[in-house]
């Protein structure tokens, strides 16, 4: 077990990372990427390295090349985060069913 000097657990840090993700909006839909269901997985190890698996609403999305790097840069500003890696995945494909109820309400999908 490696030694670390943080006053926060990976679980607590995950909450802070989610708060940051909730400030990042999809460029085409006025909903944050977390509520939109684009974040599939957030893993934080004991060295406070954050791995995020995410998707986009469509593989041809114009921000596919730049968006993961933008998200890495923003999550890296969260206190106690040592390193961030965002992996873009396409399986399972995103559907509107992955959106939170709040996001569906906001977009009038009920």
Give CA 61 to chain center in angstroms.
Answer: 17
Does 4 fall in a domain? Answer: no
CATH number at residue 19: 3.30.300.130
The rounded distance, in Å, linking the Cα atoms of 76 and 69 is 10
Does 105 fall in a domain? Answer: no
Does 106 fall in a domain? Answer: no
Does 2 fall in a domain? Answer: no
Name the one residue in this structure whose structure tokens are 């995103």. 94
Q: Count of domains in the chain?
A: 1
- Residues 10-67 have pLDDT tens digits of 999 999 999 999 999 988 888 999 999 999 999 999 999 999 999 998 888 888 889 9
Q: Which domain holds residue 28?
A: 10-100
Does 108 fall in a domain? Answer: no
The reported pLDDT for the residue numbered 109 is: 80
pTM of the model: 0.89
> What per-residue string of b and e applies to 12-50 under the rule 16 or more CB within 10 Å gives b?
ebeebbeebbeebebeeeebbbbbbbbbeebebeeebeb
Does 36 fall in a domain? Answer: yes
Does 3 fall in a domain? Answer: no
The SS3 call for residue 71 is: helix
Q: Do 108 and 75 contact (CB within 8 A), yes or no?
A: no
The reported pLDDT for the residue numbered 28 is: 83
Confidence of residue 1 (pLDDT cuts 50, 70, 90): very low
Does 39 fall in a domain? Answer: yes
In this structure, what are the phi and psi dihedrals at residue 87, rounded to the nearest 5 degrees?
Answer: -110, 130
In this structure, what are the phi and psi dihedrals at residue 15, rounded to the nearest 5 degrees?
Answer: -60, -40
């Amino acid at each position: 077990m490696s030694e670390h000097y943080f006053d926060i657990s990976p679980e607590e840090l995950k909450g802070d990372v989610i708060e940051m993700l909730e400030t990042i909006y999809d460029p085409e839909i006025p909903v944050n990427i977390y509520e939109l269901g684009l974040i599939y997985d957030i893993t934080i190890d004991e060295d406070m390295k954050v791995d995020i698996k995410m998707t986009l609403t469509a593989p041809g999305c114009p921000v596919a090349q730049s968006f993961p790097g933008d998200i890495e840069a923003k999550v890296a500003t969260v206190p106690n985060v040592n390193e961030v890696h965002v992996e873009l995945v396409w399986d399972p494909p995103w559907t509107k069913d992955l959106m939170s109820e709040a996001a569906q309400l906001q977009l009038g999908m009920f």
